[in-house]
Amino acid sequence: MTTRAQTMTTRAETGEDQGDPGLSVITNERRRLINLAYRLLGSLTDAEDVVQETCARWYAMSPREQRAIESPGAWLVTVASRVCLNLLGSARVRRETYVGDWIPEPLPEPTEWIAGHTGAGGADPAERVTLDESVTMAFLVVLDAMTPAERVAFVLHDVFRYPFAEVAEIVGRTPAACRQLASSARRRVRTARAPAGPSAGQADVVRRFRTAWQAKDIEGLIGLLDPDAIATADGGGLAVTHPRPLVGGEQVARAYVRIARVSGHRTTFLERTVNGLPGLVAWQDGKLATVYAFECAGDRIRRIWAMRNPEKLGPWRFS
């Protein structure tokens, strides 16, 4: 049986002589490749680079070699997945020199972008990412704690529904090994994530958090934070942040009140969708400063992720 990853069946042998199928295939597959690479890497910038590299490898082949590929779409997914797997391995080395905590790049809701804004490749990459449960910040943070092989096997199978036989060809392991990798990853996800609540409920909690924060109401903030709440910030050495995660609802509340006192009236908060869930965007002195993502458990905030690294905020400058 032919699988998605079997790529070199020669159509020329059957007498078919079609033109280069690449352009239409790449156009059709680009959205899926961006969605896959973003979930695997947690970086929209890196995901776009992976897609460019994948397309470059396609066009490096001769027309005859391209026509020899039975399923160009499967070939593109296979190559993109393997490029991501290699990047995940090298990313662990790069993280050792990263300043402070590393958080996945946050994504805005496409409808919240300024109409007509486009990137170098036409529509902005973020507009091609489907914002579902598999791209919430909490989910991406759990994925980031996995080994590269666990992450690829889990995302390909559980999110994109690839059979383990096909995942095995991409990862370079046996189907049984890939099944074990995905099972291990699944346990990590179940253990780490809070029970999912309705988006409207989170929007109300975030709105009340914003009101209490702007009012510098410590008790109000403590009441909205889980006693074991954790707040993490990513400045990448390019923006001021608290150097380590803040642990405990009271500590988080007091630290955020100190932030409010320093920034004062110079900061404007906007309610925005961050990776598919209600969040906040802070503008300071007319410049984008921070994107806040939240994880709620019931009517309490369990996790806050504050993205301040300007290199990870590109799409938000147009929100």
User: 113 with 224, same domain?
Assistant: no
Considering the domain boundaries, does residue 1 fall inside one? no
Same domain, 107 and 207: no
Q: Are residues 74 and 169 in the same domain?
A: yes
Give the chain's end-to-end CA distance (angstroms, integer): 47
In a domain, 4, yes or no: no
Q: Has residue 23 been placed in a domain?
A: yes
In the prediction, which pLDDT does 116 show?
35
Q: Provide the residue type at 50 as one letter.
A: V
Q: Does residue 2 form part of some domain?
A: no
Token pair belonging to 248: 């405990």
Q: Domain limits at 253? A: 199-318
Structural domain count, the chain: 2
Tokens, residue 312: 């990870």
The answer on 236 and 99 residing in a single domain is no
> What pLDDT was estimated at residue 265?
79
Last residue of a domain, one of 159, 192, 225: 192
Q: Please determine, for residue 21, whether its predicted confidence score (pLDDT) is greater than 60.
A: no
213 is a domain residue: yes
Count of Cβ atoms closer than 10 Å to residue 47 Cβ: 27
Residue 3 falls inside a structural domain: no
How does pLDDT run across 79-107, given as a tens digit for each residue? 999 999 999 988 877 888 899 999 999 99
Domain termination site, one of 149, 167, 192: 192
Write down the mean pLDDT value for the chain. 86
312: domain CATH number is 3.10.450.50
Q: Is the dihedral of CA 35, 37, 43, 45 positive or negative?
A: negative
What is the DSSP secondary structure assignment for residue 158, as one 8-state letter? Answer: I
5 lies in some domain? no
Q: Please identify, among 165, 192, 219, the residue that sits at the C-terminal boundary of a domain.
A: 192
pLDDT in tens, 221-260: 999 999 999 999 999 999 999 989 999 999 999 999 999 9
- What's residue 117's pLDDT? 39
Query: Quick one: pLDDT at residue 1?
Result: 35
pLDDT of residue 28: 82
Q: Band of the pLDDT at 115, cuts 50, 70, 90?
A: very low
- Assigned domain for 6 exists: no
CA atoms within 13 A on the CB side of 198: 3
Q: Is the pTM of this model over 0.75?
A: yes
**To the nearest whole percent, how much of the chain has pLDDT over 90?**
68
